[in-house]
Amino acid sequence: MQITKNVYLLEKMKGSYVYLLTGQEPVLIDTGMKGKSHLLMQALDELGMIPKDIAHILLTHQDVDHIGNAKAIKEASNATLWSSVEDLPYIHGQKKGTGVRKVIQTLMKVDHPHVDQTYQIGQKIGGIEIVPAPGHTPGHVCLLYGDVLFAGDLIMTKSGKLSPSPSFLAWNKSILQRSIREVGKLRFDYICPAHGDPVRGHSLWDALM
């Protein structure tokens, strides 16, 4: 599904959406749950692309439903894999989260990818600005491309309404709320979460404040 110019939601990855940005430096945002790499590649094929067209893979955070196919897609594409430095040891499998996240990471094992580069504050990759938004995890980021905000798990949508990601999964609830307030100050029109369908309208963010 096309969101706006050069921005696509890969509907085959429903449950934990993956987004594709086409153009001179094609970018994948997150990689979905392990075992769906074939669906991701099918989605690329339907858009006339092959894995080797991908220049960058940007991870919003460490969770298994976001990094699940990172190793497979990285190997198929030779793309540069990026993450925050804070979430890096979890993505590499050197550390586990706490509470429910630790249980999930133990039960739902992934093939841990090797991250090539870590984000710098204010950095742009393929025209995408990196926006630190910790709280869900220590190193969670949002990504801003023109008027499109890729929200990761900072928020989720249901029936066109926004809500914070589940509090029981929050690494730090107060920091999560602060990130929601700070991201809400940015200028964007389209909101693209990992969980729930994209919505349009910055004013929707006011309900989270």
With CA atoms as reference, report the closest residue to 90 among 76, 106, 78: 106
**Based on the structure, what is the number of domains in the chain?**
1
Q: What is the pLDDT of residue 35?
A: 93
Point out which residues pair with 150 in neighbouring strands.
143, 192
Element (H, E) at 113: none
CATH number, domain with residue 38: 3.60.15.10
| Domain ranges, residue 37 | 2-208
**Side-chain half-sphere CA neighbours of 115 within 13 A:** 23
Q: What is the pLDDT of residue 105?
A: 86
DSSP type of residue 92: T
DSSP type of residue 33: S
- pLDDT tens across the length of the chain (209 residues): 999 999 999 999 999 999 999 988 999 999 999 999 999 999 999 999 999 999 999 999 999 999 999 999 999 999 999 999 999 999 999 998 888 888 888 888 899 999 999 999 878 999 999 999 999 999 999 999 999 999 999 999 999 899 998 989 999 999 999 999 999 999 999 999 999 999 999 888 887 77
Q: Specify whether the CB–CB gap between 199 and 157 falls below 8 A.
A: yes
Residue 149 in tokens: 């905000």
With CA atoms as reference, report the closest residue to 164 among 174, 149, 146, 176: 176
Distance of CA 193 to the CA centre of its chain: 8
* pTM score over 0.75: yes
Q: Specify whether the CB–CB gap between 83 and 113 falls below 8 A.
A: no
Q: What is the pLDDT of residue 32?
A: 97
